[in-house]
Amino acid sequence: MEPLENTHRPPLISRREILGGALAAGGLLLVGCRTEPTVTPEATPAPGPTGTSPTVERLDNLRLGVPSDILPDGMLRFTPGNQALRRTVFDLLVDRGEDGDYVPWLATDWDYNDDRTRLVIRLRDGVTYHSGRPFTADDVLFVVDKALEDGSGAQVASLLRRGTMSKSGDLELTVDFEAPFASYLDAFIALPMVDSETFDAIADGQQIVGTGPFTWESWTPGSRFEMAHYDSYWGNDIPFDRLTVSVISEPQAMLAAMRSDDLDLAERMVARDAASLESAGFSVVRSVGFDYYVGVNTAVAPLDDIRVRQAVAWALDRDRIAEQVFSGIAEPSSIPWASNTPGVTTAHTSHYSYDVDRARALIEDAGATGAELAITPSPQEPTAGAVADIVQFGLTEIGLNPSTVTVEPAEFPTLIQGGAFQGLWIGVVGLTALGPTTALLTANPLRADQNTHNFTPAEYQSRHAAVVDAGDQEEQAEAIADMTEFMLEQAFHNTVVQASSTVVAREGLTGVALDSTFALNLTNARLTT
């Protein structure tokens, strides 16, 4: 047996010293290893609002947070994940201003002939892809061909099919229409000008080449992607050497990252989090509105009765939804399109208010008191659950018996595509930001012959055709007004708010914008001190 020792040798280093050393090392680890972007003053100062000249800084790395990853294989589709790429790596042909007019981008100007059956588009000279190859009319033709292919999934293909595009010069394109079509350029607000030589390598994200202000560097799927400053960009010199985008799916983690200065920008934050950051001094840029609605499956009883549908529309507390769920970053509205859409009036946007008595009377008249009604909130919208709670409360108040149905994110698109909801659902149509014609042609809930609402009477189809076939703006305004009134009366697509996408920026970061397709536009962004 080992003898028990009773002697004690003093250690070379005392425990107190070890503890002190460990604490010091931990402190150094905590503080010393922080990697924050460095800023250097730029030569060109920007004029300040009070006559002073704040210094524009050159940032070595702009850090952006986004809630969902990119989908390179769907680059020509209008998907939320790709919004961080569409105007950073890529450029678009045209943009749309706040007044709804088209704004030149890679296309400098365009003209219709007198009977609006021919459109000539002229392209910007001196634009190059990141590979150094010049951008020409052939590239636009390539993008259009790819968008029109089966399986491209490009929503705007239905707009492109209305015309035939051909090359009429190195930097000029001609589009011929069988019948006048006013919304053709909408397609180019949403289509990024991808590179024909590297298009096949886009799908796995190994090589993504565009003409935008940033070149593609790397992608770790589900985690981050990085871009670098493109020195030969045709537009403004953007004072950011790199753009690092982190995918942060948890809203709490995104909020914490902004508050702890781990990010400079956060895109598509939950509205209440964006509002809380705004009150803490961050700036919040809002996009144009898009349709946030309560859909109705008109093939399901009792929703096949117009009185029940109208009762549902009167039972939606839009003001409460805008205030409580969206913290004011949304406008209550009864219609899917923006209030400045030609033909739309205030009477349309505010047609339905929260009127329990009127709704209850309609339900009693239809003999639907106590009827069960399922509500399926979109699992892809973080606010849809909260909206469903308010909707459920309103429906209970008017004598219905609603319940919430939960589905998985992978199931919801199938239900939208197949019109297979049990009753009501809560979702969004982002394409309404491009106007009624594009939305009616491209969004499944609003299509004419087959849609998610299973609402396809001849009256709807004829009005649908009137809007999309309108040759000029006056004709279009008239058709939109008629369609809007019909939709309000039939109450199958009950818009609750015009919601906005957001980008939250740290203090001093100005000029950040979201375009009409919610794509991040950094071409005028500046960091000033």
Partner 1 sequence: MTLFVLRRLGAAAGVLIVVSVAVFSLLHVAPGDPVAVLAGPDASPETLEAIRVDLGLDKPPARQYVEWVGQLVRGDLGMSYTIRRPVSELIGQRVGSTMQLTVAATLILLALGITMGILLATSRFRVVRQAIDQLATLCLALPPFVSGIILIFLFAVVWGVLPPGGDAPFLDQTGESLRRLILPSIAMALPSAPVVARLLATEMRRAREQEFVLTALAKGSSQRRITWRHVVPNSIGPAVVEVGIRVGHLLGGAIVAEAIFARAGLGNLLITAVQSRDYRLAQALLMLAVAAAIVAQLIAELVIARNDPRVRLGGRA
Tokens for 351, please give them.
Answer: 């047609």
The least CB distance from residue 293 to partner 1, in Å, is: 13
Among 56, 248, 275, 296, indicate the residue that binds partner 1 (CB under 8 A). 248
The least CB distance from residue 63 to partner 1, in Å, is: 10
Region label for 151, one of left (φ > 0), alpha (ψ between -120 and 50) or beta (otherwise) = left
Phi, psi of 457 (to 5 degrees): -65, 160
Among 10, 13, 50, 260, indicate the residue that binds partner 1 (CB under 8 A). 260
Q: Does 246 bind partner 1 (CB under 8 A)?
A: yes
Q: What gap in Å lies between CA 226 and CA 220, rounded to an integer?
A: 9
Q: Does 414 bind partner 1 (CB under 8 A)?
A: yes
Q: Which is nearer to partner 1, 285 or 416 (CB)?
A: 416
Q: Facing residues of 497 across strands?
A: 292, 332
Question: Angle 473-490/306-314 helices, nearest 10 degrees?
Answer: 100
CB 483 within 8 A of CB 436: yes
Q: Does 14 bind partner 1 (CB under 8 A)?
A: no
Q: Which is nearer to partner 1, 147 or 398 (CB)?
A: 147
Half-sphere exposure of 264 (CA within 13 A, CB side): 24
Q: Which is nearer to partner 1, 136 or 452 (CB)?
A: 452
CB 282 within 8 A of CB 510: no
Of 66-74, 162-170, 188-196, 471-479, the window that binds partner 1 (rule: CB under 8 A) is 66-74
Among 51, 222, 281, 370, indicate the residue that binds partner 1 (CB under 8 A). 222
Q: Which is nearer to partner 1, 72 or 213 (CB)?
A: 72
The least CB distance from residue 291 to partner 1, in Å, is: 13
Q: Does 145 bind partner 1 (CB under 8 A)?
A: no
Q: What gap in Å lies between CA 397 and CA 361, rounded to an integer?
A: 12
CB 337 within 8 A of CB 292: no
CB 516 within 8 A of CB 228: no
Q: Does 477 bind partner 1 (CB under 8 A)?
A: no
Place of tokens 């020195």: 231
Among 12, 35, 101, 200, indicate the residue that binds partner 1 (CB under 8 A). 35
Among 334, 383, 392, 442, indicate the residue that binds partner 1 (CB under 8 A). 442
Place of tokens 């020409």: 136
The least CB distance from residue 35 to partner 1, in Å, is: 5
Taking CA atoms, 171 is separated from 2, 67, 92, in Å, by 93, 38, 15
The least CB distance from residue 372 to partner 1, in Å, is: 21
Q: Does 31 bind partner 1 (CB under 8 A)?
A: yes
The least CB distance from residue 223 to partner 1, in Å, is: 3
Q: Does 11 bind partner 1 (CB under 8 A)?
A: no
Q: What gap in Å lies between CA 251 and CA 466, rounded to an integer?
A: 42
- Residues sharing a CB contact under 8 Å with residue 72, sequence separation 6 or more, in sequence order: 82, 202, 203, 204, 205, 208, 219
Among 69, 139, 317, 515, indicate the residue that binds partner 1 (CB under 8 A). 69
Half-sphere exposure of 59 (CA within 13 A, CB side): 21
Tokens for 356, please give them.
Answer: 């329990």
Q: Which positions lie near partner 1, rule CB under 8 A?
A: 4, 6, 29-35, 69, 71-74, 77-79, 150-153, 155, 203-205, 220-224, 246-250, 252-253, 256-257, 259-262, 407-414, 416-417, 427, 431, 442-444
